[in-house]
Structure 1
């Protein structure tokens, strides 16, 4: 199990958790988000459950409950914490239990959990305040697990996605090359910050990194359904979004109407050892 080197990640002018307007934009189309966003590998869910002392799971930044439902299917009791009431409402309609709050401000009311998980959400949380809250609510031996699906485009699709996005969104604060180049390099700062938060708060064992590789084949329509749920596009004006989707759709049509995406699901995880 590889550990994450204790190298302090460089700080930037605007940390992801400070960009609340992006973090809270995903609920603009909660139904699409739930329908189109990828799920997580069953092997990852099973490993987190197996490394936790019991079935009580807190899902941080739970969104529409995608991860929560997978943990429920594995036999867990799951409570979500989600700042966007629109996302939380859909999660409840789909059978979830959700408190509406940012994790940093959420009141656990003396509740404790065997695992605290966060799918595609920990970068929207203050890494130290969030980790302190996780330490507060985890039982001894409890498992913290923050995880991300990192997509790795086929080169021909990546080239077109970058070209279209750069043409339509030349001033966007996103590195489209990093988003599509097919490696974990663009995520190393994010992963390191999560690990640094674990170390700074204390009360956890040494953070580890787990990786699960898998693939998913997208039709043209399925991929174009997912693109508007990504942070680079959730606040894009409708005409600009239509231009992006038209260009990417034409490229997928040109290669036969579908493509296979490789995913690496990466987990930053540590066990609760004692009082913080």
Structure 2
């Protein structure tokens, strides 16, 4: 995805670390397996993960074999990640922003990120990633974009969320095309860096089945909702729950659209 023009909310997730940990879906193992195959990662290879959260990509990636240095700037998120990784010496958890991270050039076989790369300054991100990669190393980026599978229910939720919580609105008619547009802009941004070859990319979809509470927590785990005060969070819950009750919904099925892009470092 193209970098955010505003990155002031990049640490907002730390305010809802416990909710983020429980609500955000992990990256599906089958997608991680594809990324490992495309990047030619082998057991014992070193990978740097940018914006690791509480391990939504870290854990399935580590299970595939590479050793992971997981970079997470949020103190609460990082503490949960360290707790999850405590018994795995193949995961090193470290703090700070990618812009400030230091390591010798050619330290990693891959630089990876899930749902975080857009928060990194593009004036730094691609060049720094390329410098940190070994010859022939890869940049691998993943995002997911869930939307309620029932268009009528999503539109009903949109009606109650639009005024106070517009970032929670998802238009069923334009959801995928909007993602495709932003993905194309991101690939153009990557190409403009001049540091990577033409990327491989794909879209895929899996299904999330959530309780009403879990759906509310998923909404709350995104940046612009994470900064809400307690009263606003409670109001969001009441609005969501009321809409689901009116529609007789006791589980929320979501189409989870996944976008992945992998680019090999150019030879220079």
CA distance in 2, matches of 1:29, 1:68: 19
SS of 2:124's partner is helix
Is 2:261 the partner of 1:268? yes
- Aligned-residue offset at 1:186: 2.7
TM-score (norm 1): 0.85
SS of 1:232's partner is helix
Q: Is the 8 A contact 2:196 2:266 kept in 1?
A: yes
User: Which stretch of structure 1 is more off in the superposition, 200-209 or 27-36?
Assistant: 200-209
- Aligned-residue offset at 1:93: 1.5
Task: Kindly provide the CA deviation profile for residues 39-75 of structure 1, in whole angstroms up to 9, marking residues without a partner as x.
Answer: 1122210011112233322111111122101101111
Q: Which runs of 5+ in 2 are unaligned?
A: 86-90
Q: Structure 1 residues 17, 34: closer, same or farther in 2, change over 3 A?
A: farther
CA distance in 1, matches of 2:124, 2:105: 18
* Paired position in structure 2 for 1:115: 110
SS of 2:144's partner is strand
Alignment of 1:36-75 (within 5 A): 36-54=23-41, 55-75=45-65
Is 2:19 the partner of 1:29? no
User: Which stretch of structure 1 is more off in the superposition, 199-208 or 213-222?
Assistant: 199-208
Q: Is the 8 A contact 1:217 1:260 kept in 2?
A: yes
- Aligned-residue offset at 1:24: 0.5
Q: Structure 1 residues 72, 255: closer, same or farther in 2, change over 3 A?
A: same
Q: Is the 8 A contact 1:45 1:70 kept in 2?
A: yes
CA distance in 2, matches of 1:200, 1:271: 14
CA distance in 2, matches of 1:108, 1:190: 31
Q: Is the 8 A contact 1:127 1:194 kept in 2?
A: no
Task: Kindly provide the CA deviation profile for residues 105-126 of structure 1, in whole angstroms up to 9, marking residues without a partner as x.
Answer: 2112346112211101011112
Q: Is the 8 A contact 2:106 2:134 kept in 1?
A: no
CA distance in 2, matches of 1:78, 1:225: 28
Alignment of 1:1-276 (within 5 A): 16=4, 18-20=6-8, 22-54=9-41, 55-95=45-85, 96-110=91-105, 112-153=107-148, 154-169=150-165, 174=167, 176-178=169-171, 181=173, 183-253=175-245, 254-275=247-268
TM-score (norm 2): 0.87
Q: Is the 8 A contact 2:210 2:253 kept in 1?
A: yes
User: Which stretch of structure 1 is more off in the superposition, 182-191 or 206-215?
Assistant: 182-191
Q: Is the 8 A contact 2:53 2:77 kept in 1?
A: yes
SS of 2:175's partner is coil
CA distance in 2, matches of 1:108, 1:160: 49
> How many residues are matched?
258
Task: Kindly provide the CA deviation profile for residues 203-253 of structure 1, in whole angstroms up to 9, marking residues without a partner as x.
Answer: 311023212211121121221222211123111222122112111112223
